[in-house]
Amino acid sequence: MLACFAIILLAPFFRPLVDPLKLLVPIVGAAERELAVNRFFCVLAMVYATGGQRVESMIRLASRTVANVAIRRDLLRAARSIELGASIPQAFRQTTTLRQEEQDLIAGGDLSGTLGLSFGRISSMAGESLKVRLELFTYVAVRVTMAVVVYSIAFTVLSLVMGG
């Protein structure tokens, strides 16, 4: 049963079905979003700094770093919007993945001519948020694991004492 569940979660065929569901899981979904945003904007900032490509091509290239199919599709909406004549801030406002603060950073960077720096800042913010989230998760997981181990040892010792 567990093997079937693992196959469904890991099989590429099921990813378009599983990835949106992973985003609904409180800790996992937020971490998945932050990782995707971090990677996407890190690559987008580097590619934007080198120039020489159309922005929608840069977005498509950066989207290849996003593992979650649902997030990747959402971010690719920005490329399609730009092709249809939207500005970069308007295009990223079409996405549901980005928070308002991140969309505002893009708009401010576009207005001030520092869009590449804004992309880098979004990447850094998502990376820091992910780091804090994972540290908290690790802290809780270690405490829970320790409690389970202590209780199982205590139960084993108590069973031996009472049964022996």
- For the segment 68-105, what is each residue's pLDDT rounded down to a tens digit? 999 999 999 999 999 999 999 999 999 999 999 999 99
37 band by pLDDT with thresholds 50, 70 and 90: very high
d(CA 62, CA 35): 13
- CA–centroid distance for 106 within its chain: 18
Summarised one tens digit per residue, pLDDT across range 123-143 is 999 999 999 988 988 998 899
For the domain that residue 58 is a member of, what is the CATH number?
A: 1.20.81.30
Dig out the tokens for 142 from the structure.
């270690």
Task: Give the H or E element holding residue 53.
Answer: none
8 band by pLDDT with thresholds 50, 70 and 90: low
Enumerate long-range contacts of 111-117, CB under 8 Å, 24 or more apart.
115/48, 115/88, 116/45, 116/48, 116/49, 117/45
d(CA 78, CA 86): 9
| Three-state DSSP state, 11 | coil
For 54, the domain range is 2-163
Q: Can you give the pTM of this predicted structure?
A: 0.79
112 band by pLDDT with thresholds 50, 70 and 90: very high
Q: How many domains does the chain have?
A: 1
